Amino acid sequence: MTTLYVLGSGSRGNCFAVESEGTAVLVDAGFSPREIERRADAAGLALERVEAIVLTHEHGDHSRGAARLARRLGTPVLTAPGTWTALAPRMKAAAHRPLGLCARAELGPFTVHACPTSHDAAEPLAVTLHASDGASVGVAYDLGRPTSAVRYLLRNLTALVVESNHDEVALRTSGYPPVVQRRIAGSCGHLSNRAAAELLVELHHPDLAVVVLAHLSRQCNTAADARATVAPALRRVGFAGVLHVADQDAPLPAIRVERVGREQLRLAL
């Protein structure tokens, strides 16, 4: 059985984990090691089972605890060469394994793939983890637009973690200066609720079982607004899985990742 752990997601920190056959992989470590340990314990994830930390990019809300946690756990950090270079001053004594478009990694029951995303970072990635039981999880956030490479990477997966950062009206009427609004809404910024819904509709297939909306803006979005935009769009294309919204302040209960197949799951509203 493959399990997805959503330990927290938002502008103040992001951390996910995928576990199968007793092996776990962290995707991003945007909280302090102590906070990640606290959240993992609350969610039922044993950190001693973590075999690697995958980093999507170097921004602090994704990498803050990576160096200390990697050293503490004795695990490698998998990330793009550009990200590793950007983090080099903080990553002393941590081991690096390159990850990117032409480099995949084998980690116990997992095969990890990645591709570049459109974001204002050194070499940002979207990632997928394919488990030996047939389950697969994709994580794609901090992407101003979903490129063809991202769409290809995320096709036919069992679970998707996709950014649903802001409500477009809330962003335009926020207190952010125009330059910040343009950065958030631009091609190297973040996906809106509407753009997330459009991407998920495109990626939908009969075996998609789990969708998690991630990286919500505290100032320009709410869980209710993100769900109200995405849930009807998924319902219209026949999504039979479960829709979750990640929380910034607390982990979600552990999520089983199983193919829907002919057994229809409910759409959480």
Which CATH number does the domain housing residue 226 bear?
3.60.15.10
Helices (H) and strands (E) in the chain, counts: 9, 14
What is the rounded average pLDDT of the residues 48-57?
A: 97
Instruction: Give the structural domain span for 119.
Output: 2-256
At residue 67, the pLDDT reads 95
Residue 265's pLDDT band (boundaries 50, 70, 90)? very low
Task: Examine residue 201 and state whether it is found in any structural domain, yes or no.
Answer: yes
At residue 153, the pLDDT reads 97
Task: Examine residue 265 and state whether it is found in any structural domain, yes or no.
Answer: no
What is the rounded average pLDDT of the residues 254-268?
A: 65
Phi-psi region of 129 (alpha: psi -120 to 50; beta: other; left: phi over 0): beta
Nearest-angstrom CA–CA distance, 218 and 165 = 9
Nearest-angstrom CA–CA distance, 126 and 116 = 6
- Tokens read off for 72: 């503490």
| 3-class DSSP state of 4 | strand
| 3-class DSSP state of 54 | strand
Nearest-angstrom CA–CA distance, 71 and 74 = 5
Query: Higher-confidence residue: 14 or 268?
Result: 14
Task: Examine residue 17 and state whether it is found in any structural domain, yes or no.
Answer: yes
Residue 264 has pLDDT above 50, yes or no: no
Bridge-based pairing of strands 210-214 and 159-163 is parallel
Residue 260's pLDDT band (boundaries 50, 70, 90)? low
Q: What is the 3-state secondary structure (H, E, C) of 119-140?
A: CCCCCCEEEEEEECCCCEEEEE
- C-alpha distances out from residue 235 to 96, 128, 151, 243, Å: 41, 24, 20, 10
At residue 263, the pLDDT reads 43
At residue 184, the pLDDT reads 92
Nearest-angstrom CA–CA distance, 153 and 166 = 23
Task: Examine residue 225 and state whether it is found in any structural domain, yes or no.
Answer: yes
The count of other CB atoms within 10 Å of the CB of residue 187 is 11
pLDDT digits (tens, 9 = 90+) for 94-106: 899 999 887 889 9
Q: How many structural domains does the chain have?
A: 1
What is the rounded average pLDDT of the residues 229-258?
A: 97
User: Which of 140, 2, 127 has its CA nearest to residue 53?
Assistant: 127
Task: Examine residue 111 and state whether it is found in any structural domain, yes or no.
Answer: yes
pLDDT digits (tens, 9 = 90+) for 144-202: 999 999 999 999 999 999 999 999 999 999 999 999 999 999 989 999 999 999 999 99
Please provide the average confidence, as pLDDT, over all residues in the chain: 94
Nearest-angstrom CA–CA distance, 81 and 186 = 25
Residue 261's pLDDT band (boundaries 50, 70, 90)? low
Residue 220 has pLDDT above 90, yes or no: yes
User: Which of 98, 13, 96 has its CA nearest to residue 62?
Assistant: 13
What is the rounded average pLDDT of the residues 76-104?
A: 91
Nearest-angstrom CA–CA distance, 238 and 240 = 6
Residue 38 has pLDDT above 60, yes or no: yes
Task: Examine residue 131 and state whether it is found in any structural domain, yes or no.
Answer: yes
Confirm whether pTM is higher than 0.85. Answer: yes
At residue 93, the pLDDT reads 77
Query: Higher-confidence residue: 103 or 8?
Result: 8
At residue 262, the pLDDT reads 40
